[in-house]
Amino acid sequence: MLSRLVGFQTVSDRSNLDLINFIRAYLGEFGIDCTLTFDETGEKANLHAIVGPRIDGGVVLSGHTDVVPVAGQSWSSDPFTLCERDGRFYGRGTADMKSFAAIALAHVPQMVAANLKRPIHIALSYDEEIGCIGAPRMIEAMVSDGPSPAAVIVGEPTSMKVVDSHKGTMLLRTTVTGKSVHSSQLNRGVSAITAAARIIGWLDERTRANIGETPPGSPFDPPYTTLHCGVLEGGTAHNIVAKSAWFYTDIRSLPHESQDEWQARYESFVRSEVEPEMKAGAPEAGITIERLSAVPGLQPEENGGAEELARRLTGDNSRNVVVYGTEAGQFQEAGFSTIVCGPGSIDQAHQPDEFIEKAQLVAGEAFIRRLMRELT
């Protein structure tokens, strides 16, 4: 099953429908219906299927179908052909995160034969890698259509450790419009690059301030909210004052912090400190800020059903958090008890020669088998 899933080149800029249709046909062989929710183009879809009785109290096994690109990476073998070497399975998505889906799907015959008393939901999304864009549509349909699960397990790679918390992620695009003049007449223009640099400088200053405000006992690494510019473009020539510039802002916030408040603080600096000075030099100058994505953090749940279940199934009683984002916070926001637990290591995710240890697949299989016994 993992070989089949890796063979579908579901890079985020492509359709995932070939993979979705394969899974739908596979589940159909066992009499299992699937609900698909599509993006605006109709070229990408989420898949939600229920194995067992359509009643409340089941468990969701959640994963994403998309993978990051391989362009520019040096691979030792075809990234879209599963390759086994020295106890490892290599291929794009083996760690992040087609192995979890493969384990769940491979056990569907046993799930059907087990006469489950509570259902197992299989929930597979699109476009997680570019901002967890697809899952909200699927979650909305799950909430409205039912039945309501008791727990959600998001199978991102945690080496089968139970993760109860991760940071939130927000991506902003800021576009700066200035006034272009010859650089010898700098006083007559407004540099979009200079304005952008001031804003980016504030991101760094705010991050440094956050270090001094780190909450006591914060388990994250780093243990504070970070604000970062990863891409910046602008200008046309060395001797022309730049009319335009744009950049991305990546905010990784502690899970208890409000993403809306972080954006408000950012916009407050821009509107009060940078934009007025620009407009004083040229009324047509200005700054636009667009939120491209906002993925909520996952917060620990007091006596959370998903965590208690996952700890029973894994035997893991340690406290684990991650700093990368997942769809878990979106499920939690919708009212579902949610944790992150899956095979493989995030250290291999997005890397050339991405792999998963065979031992991790074995551990994932044992997890699913214990889950089936729990629900029978």
How many other C-beta atoms can be found within 10 angstroms of the C-beta atom of residue 374?
14
What pLDDT, on a 0 to 100 scale, did the predictor assign at position 173? 98
Give the closest residue to 298 by CA, choosing from 261, 263, 331: 331
**Distance, CA of 219 to chain centre:** 20
Report which secondary-structure segment, H or E, holds 192.
helix 192-212
Average pLDDT over residues 18-35: 97
pLDDT in tens, 160-204: 999 999 999 999 999 999 999 999 999 999 999 999 999 999 999
Q: Is the peptide bond before 147 cis (omega within 30 degrees of 0)?
A: yes
Contact in structure between 7 and 82 (CB atoms under 8 Å): yes
Q: Which of 96, 128, 275, 353 does the annotation list as catalytic?
A: 128
Neighbours of 182 (CB within 10 A): 12
- Say if residues 361 and 343 touch (Cβ distance below 8 Å): yes
Domain ranges of the chain: 2-165+297-374, 170-295
**Domain 2-165+297-374 CATH class label:** alpha beta
Cβ count within 10 A of residue 19: 23
Percent of the chain as helix, strand, coil, to the nearest 5: 35, 25, 40
% of the chain at pLDDT higher than 90: 99
When pLDDT is averaged across residues 194-218 and rounded to a whole number, the result is 96
Average pLDDT in the 230-254 region?
96
The answer to whether residue 128 is catalytic is yes
Cis amide prior to 97 (ω within 30 degrees): yes
Instruction: Decide if 206 contacts 335 (C-beta within 8 A).
Output: no
> What DSSP assignment string belongs to 286-300?
EEEEEEEEEEPPB--
Q: What are the tens digits of pLDDT across the range 313-361?
A: 999 999 999 989 999 999 999 999 999 999 999 999 999 999 999 999 9
Residue 296 is predicted with a pLDDT of: 95
Mean pLDDT computed over 211-240: 95
- Inter-helix orientation angle 17-28/99-106, to 10°: 20
The whole-number average pLDDT for the span 25-36 is 97
pLDDT for the residue 280: 96
Catalytic residue among 66, 96, 275, 327: 66
Burial of 368 (0-12, 13-18, 19+ CB in 10 A): buried
| 302 included as an active-site residue | no
Residue whose pair of structure tokens reads 């992620």 in the numeric block: 169
Residue 49, pLDDT score? 98
What's the confidence (pLDDT) of residue 206?
97
Q: Give mean pLDDT, residues 362-370.
A: 97
Q: Which CATH architecture has domain 170-295?
A: 2-Layer Sandwich (3.30)
The overall average pLDDT reported for the chain is 96
- Do 305 and 311 contact (CB within 8 A), yes or no? no
